[in-house]
Structure 1
Amino acid sequence: MTPLARLSGRLERLSGRLLLFAPVCLGLGVGSYFSLSEEPGALAWVLVGLCATGFAALGWHFRRSRYAGLSFLAMGVAAVLAGLMVAGLRSEIVRAPVLDFRYYGAVEGRVVKVDRSASEATRLTLDRVRLDRVAPARTPERVRVSLHGRQGFLDPEPGQRVAMTAFLSGPEGPVEPGGFDFRRMAWFDRIGAVGYTRAPALLLAPPEGRGEVLVSRLRARISAWVLEVLPNEAGTFATAITTGDRSAMDRDTVDALRGANLAHLLAISGLHMGLLTGFVFAALRYALALVPGLADRVAIRKVAAVVALQAGAFYLALSGGNVATERAFIMVAVMFGAVLMDRRALTLRAVAVAALAILLVQPESLTEPGFQMSFAATTALVAVFGALRDWPAWNPPRLLRGPISVVIASSVAGIATAPFAAAHFNIVSHYGLLANLAAVPVMGTLVMPLAVLAALLAPLGLGWIALDLMQYPIMWILAVARFVTGLEGAVGHVPSPGAAVLPLVTLGGLVAVLLAGRWRLAGAVPVAVALALWVEADRPAVLVTASGGLVGVMTPEGRALSKPRGDGFAARVWLENDGDPVTQDIAHARRGFDGEAGAREADLGGRRLVHLTGRGARERLAAACARADVVVLSMTAEAVPPGCTLYDEAALQATGALALYPGAAGLRVESVAETGGRRPWTVR
């Protein structure tokens, strides 16, 4: 047998799993697009399209030849190239103007979303925007404005047309090279400017609009009703799980849930969609079964499946349609579709269909924590419970089957999502399993059924009864979160990993799930490599903000900051990415800088860095350049002394935030402009 025939034979064994590998290959293409340093040109896209077509045709040809197994390989390459094109096409479809200058003036627009910023300020997302002295062709399609100062002249509601005087600018880039790029997220949300106002926002016209606006208004009214019935902490939790509105939740509650690994209860995702549709399906099925003779004339199981699917669709619309909820709805749609066709409901094929649907419609979601954690948990759960179902020795007592399943599900989901949660949020919950065992059963048996009951009773004016009962299990969940988070050593902090870590973890998990036999053990290799790389993660010795207003230097105590206030968002993200989430003033008190305020100095292994800020900074520039190897100036220099390595405001506007790595050969400098490349969301 020739090597080619041998390879074909091995691949032919996987031909039955082609659907399972399709989203993997498509995702690989999507990920490749987002990792490019430069946007492909028209000729490059034509070549990619021709290659994708050619490999697809080659795969079709192999299916009819003696090398049928090679069609699997050819189709895989075609799917990778298709993923590249899907992501590029999506990037062009959402293309909208981005503000390329700092704007101050009148802003008018229609409210499409009301939420809260990181500083707890009310934040409005506007469309149909009008800006003073800005041509319509240059006006962003959407802007996001935080309301500060004295407000109270407006009760924001989706559909209202409002006016204000605001400061706006284009979305900001990462606060460090390789960090989270808000510009990319804003690009795909068509948000072309962000800013704030300290003047009162005023109402120009009452709510109007259709589609998204009507759904947003319904969400706002349901949230207001829930908070009116339950004007307490339980009400804010109930609002989050019914409409996805977390704006009323205080930061301490969210931190407690996150520290106990219960933050997933706030995200309307697979757990909520499964509990809601499962409850509707089971309740309606049993109710119909009580009607004498009905089960003999009507397939009540299928009727219940249709109604449960409609309930899931309503919940999807009500939640705002985030990626996790869309994935969950597609999953339940496939599951109930299997019920209608008398097929097995929960399989890896259902997960694959959901992943394909989301990647084709919103390929940018691949880079988001919600997509990664949601599919990691779902894939692992379906694979594990599928293996248990096929295992002859799996036959626990009926009374213990539920509790054992909860333990297994919590453990599997926790292990599957832990690397992604740690990488994105820099925390590890050591007692998350304990919290989930105490809280998730209460969520499924009491909270979600009562939420459905509240929805059914609301048209009769009796929904408050179910909401009032719901607050007690919710308070239990919040008490569990605080108890677990308060345990000694409950929450650990880890530094952000390198770019290769999560792809390697994902590869290891996919190998373990998709391959058969002993080949599954090979998945441990990339996971081990990823963990080794994470342990050896090298955080930048020096970080500089894009404004030049803050510098952070790594010391044995942790990162020391040059100022106790200012550029607070960058300071918080730097410290979290270091795995050291202390406050900015504590980081400033560390021994890393010396010198007077406005002229702080740091030693970088024999090299000297000076950070100049405040009044008189320009006058101190010449003296600083004479004694320092690197000077950071928070304003634009009028003249640069000869031989001075200077990063002033003008230079940093071009480079973005900087990361410096001292070495024997000198200082290696990375910039956001270099790592971000020339992409539609980075080029102004």
Structure 2
Amino acid sequence: MGSGWLAAQIETQRPHLALWIPVLFAVGIAAYFQVAAEPPGWMLAAIATFLAMGLGTLFRIGPTARILLLALMLPLAGFAVAGLRARLVAAPVLPHAMSVNVEGDVVGLDRSGSDRPRVLLDDVVIHGLPPSRTPARVRISLDPSTPEDIVQPGIRLLGYARLSPPAAPAEPGGFDFRRMAWFDRLGAVGYARTPMLEMAGNGGAARLDWRAGIFALRVHLSRAIQHALPGRNGGFAAAILTGDRSGVDPVALGTLRASNLAHLLAISGLHMGLLTGFVFASIRYGLALVPGVALRHPTKKYAAIVALAAGLAYLALSGANVATQRAFIMTAVVLVAVLIDRPAFTLRSVALAAMIVLVIRPESLTEAGFQMSFAATTGLIAVFEWLRGRAWWRESQSARWSYLRPVIGVAVTSTVAGLATAPLSAFHFNTLSQYGLIANVLAVPAMGLLVMPAAVIAGMLAPFGLAAPALWAMDLGIEYILQVAAFVAGLDGALRGVPSGPPASLALIVIGAIFVVLWLGPARLLGIVPIGLGLLVWAQQDRPDILISDNGRLFGIKAAQGRVLNSEKGNGFAASSWLDNDGDLADQAAAFARPGMERSRGRAVMEIPGLGRFVYFASKKPGARADAACGEAAILLAPSLREAPGGRCLFVGAARLDDEGAMAIRVVGGRPSIEGAKSANRGRPWTRDQDADR
């Protein structure tokens, strides 16, 4: 009876079984990134052997057994692919911070968080460091006095810089930049201490391969756009057309984020879809005007081929970053479906696109962009498929409602996409835009009806010097979008902070949502259970009472009015990360100004309820003062001391900071429980070099 019941359930779910393939594959990838230590090579080899045996067995067993075997093989395949990818991208990581002469070819340009020009260097040479220890790529913020005319694609630069390995998390369980840098082959980051110089005889077009040639074209187009559209609108236009966000106005960026319109800046499925959709419609309806062509040729397929070529060109000119690659793959799947006479917008298309992305770049699963784009697309297709079966929706699509159809479509699309991505946005960015739906309903139509079509027309007319009218229209649309962003961001309570939740909470929410969408039958409503449980786990997550930066010079203590910081500047990334994860919208200076902490030169003291005094001691000289500080403190932070002073306090000094990195302390039952960021992240490829140099 058991096997018969299982076979019946599988048969019921057969129409959606293929949709579970990327889900199960992703489970294996997620498991790889969650394990505490890197799987050894023999384990990956054993998995590969099992998968090969499974493939040989797959077609010699019955349908039910075949599906069960696939359900076992897919997570193992995802685990193995992620492990293999981590090995394939392996490159040296700078062993420790150093000030050195560094040279390399410019292969990327952007701006740092402090709004300084920043270059990505490839083919790196670090003077005094052997090639076997030299990172493949280095990212450097330039000295402001570096001549602007030498910061060009393909130029080989030389300069004196302060370099460091990619930073460990700002707190245990926080965002690990080292992992992202590992998969980007980025082995060091830093800033130039002197103006960078062009190396004689090594720059210019002679060094450009086809990738660098496309990069050079991107930079040229970005600067041309910003010259034609000066000011903040030109920076916006350059960002959406070339992927160059260096010209985006910081104030405009802040309003876009607060109004939930920042996604309009990131080249994603929206932009790719709008561009290829406009090209597709233009070609198809243009050919329809020629009766001889329309009656004898498959104009729809011709339009799909041209749109696919336009999407590929946009992919190249926009930098082909991970988000744009993902957008192109999703768009290509849709257009290829048109070419082979298959339904274009289906959950199967989304599943195929997700599988392609995960096989090529399994690390994408951990990125907010991947999660949000596929959540929005899946939600939209599922909801519109459901709506097509409702009589009232079919009535709303009739001719007499034609004047309201675009408004209804935008409202439904914005609502569904917003709800689908809200938990992911809150988890990754710790904010919720209270009026994001309003902003998107007002702004997205302008992007689709004016900005992107004008951009396509401007690109077609630019070689003939006739792009001015299209650029004027594009400028008008961008100005409108930025005005909407400013209006919505200025509303009271436009942005709400959300405290960080544990990964398990997001996993439960995602699993529940996937079950609701993919499971057939009334049992799909059971997916509400893990969603509710995930929200409950998230709500009950407590933030640490004390956070300490990896160098020990910044700490923050949780209080009734919010976290209190000991310094109003310095360690800015750690400070902003802590406040963001608290769901606190204050900046570092505001958190420093909060009451409760006594500060004097080289010393800070704050009372922690249920524990006692936390004392910060900055002096580098141990002795009676340090002993006295430990005597009065429950916890003593002395980042300049390596040996514990006399007393019974919990001592956090230089040796422990070197070993543990950033720390979180929770008060449990009147006792401090301490956790280090490094101890929670040891034994992986992206931490191994730094662990070895402790």
Q: Give the alignment's TM-score, normalised by structure 2.
A: 0.95
8 Å Cα contact 1:59/1:73 also seen in 2:
no
- Does the CA contact (< 8 Å) of 1:153 and 1:200 recur in 2? no
2:109 corresponding residue in structure 1: 114
Which one of the candidate residues 556, 571, 574 is aligned to 2:575?
571
Superposed CA offset, 1:366-410 (max 9, x none): 111100100000000111112223444432133132221111101
Instruction: For 1:571 and 1:81, locate their aligned partners in 2 and report how far apart those are by CA, in whole Å.
Output: 39
**Structure 1 residues 256 and 617: CA distance shift in structure 2, 3 A:** farther
Partner of 1:624: 629
Corresponding position of 2:432: 428
| Residue 407 of structure 1: aligned partner | 411
State the Cα deviation string for residues 634-672 of structure 1 (Å, max 9, x = none).
224366547553222232121111000111262111111
Give me the whole-angstrom Cα distance separating, in 2, the residues matched to 1:612 and 1:679: 34
- 1:38 maps to 37
2:475 is the alignment partner of 1:471: yes
CA contact (8 A) 2:433 2:495 kept: yes
| Pair 592,73 (structure 1): closer, same or farther in 2 beyond 3 Å | farther
Residue 18 of structure 1 aligns with which residue? 17
Q: Secondary structure at the match of 2:598?
A: coil
The equivalent residue for 1:548 is 552
**Partner residue in 1 for 2:362:** 363
Shift of 1:531: 1.4
Which residue of the partner structure matches residue 669 of structure 1?
674
Q: How does 1:181-580 map to 2 (within 5 A)?
A: 181-204=176-199, 205-207=202-204, 208-395=207-394, 396=396, 397-398=398-399, 399=402, 400-580=404-584
* Other-structure match for 2:692: none
Is 1:98 the counterpart of 2:93? The answer is yes
Shift of 1:54: 4.7
Q: Which amino acid aligns with 1:367?
A: T
Does the alignment pair 1:655 with 2:688?
A: no
- Unaligned 5+ runs, structure 2: 690-694
Partner SS state of residue 274, structure 1:
helix
Q: Which runs of 5+ in 1 are unaligned?
A: none
Secondary structure, counterpart of 1:579 in structure 2: coil
Structure 2 partner of 1:682: 687
| Alpha-carbon distance between aligned partners in 2 of 1:668 and 1:135, rounded to the nearest angstrom | 42
The 8 Å contact of residues 379 and 416 in structure 2, kept in 1 or not, is answered as yes
C-alpha spacing 1:11/1:292, structure 2 compared with 1 (3 Å): closer
Question: In the alignment, which residue of structure 2 is the partner of 1:166?
Answer: 161
Deviation, 1:61, is: 3.8
Instruction: Give 1:18 deviation, angstroms.
Output: 3.0
Following the alignment from structure 1 to structure 2, what is the Cα–Cα distance between the partners of residues 617 and 441?
A: 65
Distance 1:619 1:48, change over 3 A: farther
- The residue type paired with residue 83 of structure 2 is G
Equivalent pair of 1:150/1:198 in contact (CA under 8 Å): no
Amino acid corresponding to residue 119 of structure 2 in structure 1: L
**1:125 is aligned to 2:125:** no
Paired with 2:474 and 2:66, the residues of 1 have a C-alpha distance of: 54
Post-superposition offset of 1:221: 0.6
Q: What is the one-letter code of the residue matched to 1:69?
A: T
Q: Which moved more, 1:582-591 or 1:93-102?
A: 582-591
Question: Cα–Cα, structure 1 residues 619 and 166, in superposed 2: closer, same or farther, change >3 Å?
Answer: farther
Q: Which residue of 2 aligns with 1:71?
A: 66
Q: CA deviation at 1:351?
A: 0.4
- SS at 2:570 equivalent: coil
Q: 1:459 Cα shift?
A: 1.0
Q: Which amino acid aligns with 1:347?
A: T
Q: State the 1:255 CA deviation.
A: 1.4
What SS class does the counterpart of residue 103 from structure 2 fall into?
strand
Counterpart contact for 2:36–2:681, Cα < 8 Å: yes
Identify if the C-alpha distance between structure 1 residues 140 and 315 changes in structure 2 by more than 3 Å, giving closer, same or farther: same
Q: Distance in 2 between matches of 1:138 and 1:210?
A: 25
SS in 1 for 2:90: coil
Judge which range, 6-15 or 193-202, deviates more: 6-15
Distance in 1 (CA, whole Å) between partners of 2:225 and 2:115 is 20
- Count of aligned residue pairs for this structure pair: 679
C-alpha distance in structure 1 between counterparts of 2:13 and 2:334, whole Å:
24
For 2:678 and 2:342, the matched residues in 1 are separated by 52
CA contact (8 A) 2:643 2:653 kept: no
Bigger drift between 302-311 and 250-259 goes to 250-259
- Aligned pair in 2 of structure 1 residues 302, 149: CA closer, same or farther (>3 Å)? closer
- For residue 646 of structure 1, give the secondary structure of its aligned residue in structure 2: strand
Shift of the alpha carbon at 1:149? 4.5
Query: 1:512·1:523 contact (CA, 8 Å) conserved in 2?
Result: yes
Deviation at 1:198, TM superposition (A): 2.5
Q: Is the 8 A contact 2:269 2:373 kept in 1?
A: yes
Deviates more, 1:335-344 or 1:375-384: 335-344
What TM-score, normalized to structure 1? 0.96
CA contact (8 A) 1:39 1:680 kept: yes
Q: Which residue does 2:618 correspond to in 1?
A: 613
Contact 1:149–1:197 at 8 Å: present in 2 too? no
Q: In 2 relative to 1, CA 295–130 (structure 1 residues): closer, same or farther, beyond 3 Å?
A: same
SS in 2 for 1:133: coil
The 8 Å contact of residues 611 and 634 in structure 2, kept in 1 or not, is answered as no
Cα distance in 2 between the residues matched to 1:665 and 1:54: 55
User: Using the alignment, how far apart are the partners of 2:197 and 2:469 within structure 1?
Assistant: 37
Q: Give SS of 2:159's match.
A: strand
Larger mean CA deviation between 323-332 and 419-428 belongs to 323-332
- Could you tell me whether the CA contact under 8 Å between 1:98 and 1:138 is conserved in 2? yes
Go from structure 1 to structure 2 and tell me whether the alpha carbon gap of 1:613 and 1:127 turns closer, same or farther (over 3 Å shift): same
1:318-369 deviation line (CA, Å, top 9, x unaligned): 1222333222211221211121112211100110111001100101111111
Q: Deviations over 1:248-284 (max 9, x none)?
A: 1122211111111111111111111111111101111
Deviates further, 441-450 or 527-536: 527-536
**Is the 1:564–1:584 Cα contact (8 Å) retained in structure 2?**
yes
Q: Could you tell me how far apart the structure 2 residues matched to 1:49 and 1:647 are? A: 45
Once the two structures are overlaid, the 10-residue window that deviates more, 541-550 or 51-60, is 51-60
Distance 2:440 2:15 in 1: 36
Moved more, 348-357 or 2-11: 2-11
Corresponding residue SS for 1:255: helix
Paired with 1:471 and 1:513, the residues of 2 have a C-alpha distance of 40
Amino acid at match of 1:439: A
Equivalent in the alignment of 1:80: 75
Match of residue 640 from structure 2: 635
Contact 2:639 2:657 in 1 (8 A): no
Which deviations, in whole Å up to 9, do the C-alpha atoms of 1:17-48 show, x marking residues without a partner? 23211110111100100001100112322333
In structure 1, the residue corresponding to 2:189 is in which secondary structure? strand
Residue 688 of structure 2: SS of its match in structure 1? coil
Pair 1:515–1:153, CA change in 2 (3 A): closer
